[in-house]
Structure 1
């Protein structure tokens, strides 16, 4: 038997103002996208903005459905749109913001497990890391230099 330790490295910024200007701009696009979320059931709105290698920005917001499994998270809405419209372009980074309509969300909200797996698929496909910045409505912002920090035991095509 052997015990293995897995570590993740993240950078935590105290607030949006500490980020480089281009990241602030991307996060602002994610905040705008969050306003378009359709979340009548959870009252939890999420916005995503993806920067592609050609400087195009693709946005997405969560879209709920009364049949819960039929909805789609903001991250997957954006990443699947990017993959459909720009299939040969690499994703450089993602900015994510989430907030509740019931209470203020100040804790950074990372992608859910299904979204982590979807992002992993694109990171493996493009053979390059995707930077991910995430936050609540306000407060701290977390940066991961790669999806592998958020999903260290990756399931991908190499095991199929």
Structure 2
């Protein structure tokens, strides 16, 4: 038997104002998207904003459906829209913010497993990492330089 150790390096900022203005602006776009979420069942609102290399900012919010689990998370809403409408553009960075209706959300909320896999697909496709910033409704922000920090053992097309 052999053991392997996997390490991830993330940056933690105490508040959004510690980040450069362009990242603050992207997170503000994620806030707008979060406020447009359709979450009548979970009451958990998530917004994502993506900056493309062509300067476009794409927003997405979670969209729930009574026929669980046919809704879609904010991150995948945004990334699939970007892929469908700007297929040759590269994703530079993504900002994510989440808020619960009935309690204050101060802990940074990372993408779920399905969203991590979707982001990984685009990171592999474009052969370039995607910086990911995530937070709750306010408070600290975590930055990952690449999706691989959040999902280190990627499942990719090379296995198919």
Q: TM-score range by the shorter chain?
A: over 0.9
Q: Secondary structure at the match of 1:69?
A: coil
How far apart are residue 159 of structure 1 and its match?
A: 1.0
Count residues with an aligned counterpart: 160
Distance in 2 between residues matched to 1:23 and 1:55, nearest whole Å: 13
Distance in 1 between residues matched to 2:158 and 2:127, nearest whole Å: 13
Q: What are structure 2's unaligned runs of at least 5 residues?
A: none
How far apart are residue 69 of structure 1 and its match?
A: 1.3
Distance in 1 between residues matched to 2:100 and 2:68, nearest whole Å: 18
Distance in 1 between residues matched to 2:47 and 2:15, nearest whole Å: 17
Asked whether 1:60 is paired with 2:53, we answer no
Q: What are structure 1's unaligned runs of at least 5 residues?
A: none
How far apart are residue 104 of structure 1 and its match?
A: 0.5
CA-to-partner distance for each residue in 1:102-156, whole Å, 9 max, x for gaps?
A: 1000000000000000000000000000000000001110000000000000000
CA-to-partner distance for each residue in 1:36-84, whole Å, 9 max, x for gaps?
A: 0000000000000000001100000000000111100000000000000
1:87 alignment partner in structure 2: 87
Distance in 1 between residues matched to 2:124 and 2:84, nearest whole Å: 17
1:69 alignment partner in structure 2: 69
1:19 alignment partner in structure 2: 19
How far apart are residue 9 of structure 1 and its match?
A: 0.5
Distance in 1 between residues matched to 2:125 and 2:10, nearest whole Å: 23
2:155 alignment partner in structure 1: 155
How far apart are residue 21 of structure 1 and its match?
A: 0.5
How far apart are residue 158 of structure 1 and its match?
A: 1.0
Q: Extract structure 1 runs of 4+ deviating beyond 4 A.
A: none
Q: TM-score, normalization: structure 2? A: 0.99
Aligned CA RMSD, in angstroms, stands at: 0.4
Distance in 2 between residues matched to 1:21 and 1:87, nearest whole Å: 27
2:122 alignment partner in structure 1: 122
